[in-house]
Structures are given as structure tokens and as C-alpha cells.
Amino acid sequence: MAARELPDRNGPSGAPELEVHLVPMRRRHLRSVLRIEAQVYPRPWSLSLFLSELSLRTSRAYVVARVDGVVVGYAGLMFSGDDGHVTTIAVDPMWHRAKIGTRLLAELARLALDRGCRNLTLEVRVSNVGAQALYERFGFAPAGIRKNYYVETNEDALVMWNEHIDQPAFSARLASIEAEVPGTTVRSEGME
């Protein structure tokens, strides 16, 4: 499955008092998710693909970020043995630079840790240096190239890994990143 990454378009920044709610993605969120999907990806996932992913509850976790009840971003994770694979992460262009992507990636990391994962991996377009910088901040490191991975744009993917997320050093890094995010992040009870 192709990993999705943060688009690197600019948008207005969020206010410091921003309250972002992270909740499990449900069918009722898909209209908003598909709207964002169509804005940020050259070949958006279909409704049926999202429904299929949501039905795989034992091996997948999908979350949405909401501000004032409006879906402003979403992310997904696939579990495979000791590894968590980031399948998608996207933020509404109007909410770029508001740390929504940071919150979503932190949530995926927490979900991976809760499920006993030791490593995280993802693919990102080689041209998307903004997303790569975010991933590097979380400790992801380049591990290889997948040639022509994004066939719709004939672009290669950079494969990135974050090994040993189960170690205290990663927990400290994660806590530091979360502490730097302005405003409040509220995790849904269903996320734990």
C-alpha cells in the first residue's frame, strides 16, 4: 500500500489557543476525509478503499483531527509484527502550519507504542522535503528509494524508518515534540 505524506503547500497558521481533538476515524468522517484527500493527492484514495481500511480493525488504526467539530486532517497506521507502517497522513491546506500533522504523527507513534511496535516506517515523495523534515524530527531516517513508487507522477519514494521506538530515548523525543505544540490536543477515550 502506498504511504501518503503531508503535502507541502503553505496555509494560515493556527492560533496558540487551538484545541485539536484526535478521534478514531469513523464512516461519518469520510466525506470530510475525501474532501481533503482530493485536495492534497494527485490520485486520491476512494471511499471503498477507506471503508476497506476501516474494516481491518485488528491491523489498522485511522484517526482524524477535528477543530470545532470540523475534520482538518487524518492519518493511518498499519500494524505488521513489530512494525507500524504509516499509510497516510494529510492535512487540509487551510490548516497547514498549525501543527496538525505533528499532532497526527505523534498520535500514530503513541498508537504504535500501545500496540507493542518497535519500529515505524513510511514512504514519502523524494520532492516533499517539508514532510521529510517533519519525519526526521520524529527520528525517521532514510533507508532507501523505491523507484517510480508514485506512478501517477512518476516520482520515487524515499523509504524512512524509525527503529527502536520502544526505547526511552524515543519516548523523551516524543514528549519533547508534543510539549512544543501550541494549544491543546485532546485524545478521544476510544484512542487509548
Catalytic residue flag (residue 135): yes
* Alpha-carbon dihedral angle through residues 31, 138, 120, 103, given to the nearest 10 degrees: -30
For residue 37, what is its C-alpha cell? Answer: 484527500
Annotated catalytic residue, options 62, 74, 135, 150: 135
In sequence order, the β-bridge partners of residue 67 are 70
Given the DSSP bridges, would you call strands 119-125 and 155-163 parallel, antiparallel or unpaired?
antiparallel
d(CA 144, CA 132): 13
Mapped onto helix, strand or coil, the DSSP state of residue 118 is coil
The helix/strand count (H/E) of the chain reads as 5, 8
Cα dihedral: 75, 47, 44, 138 (round 10)? 10
DSSP track, 139-153: T-EEEEEEEEEETTT
Catalytic residue among 5, 123, 149, 150: 123
What residues are labeled active site? Answer: 123, 135
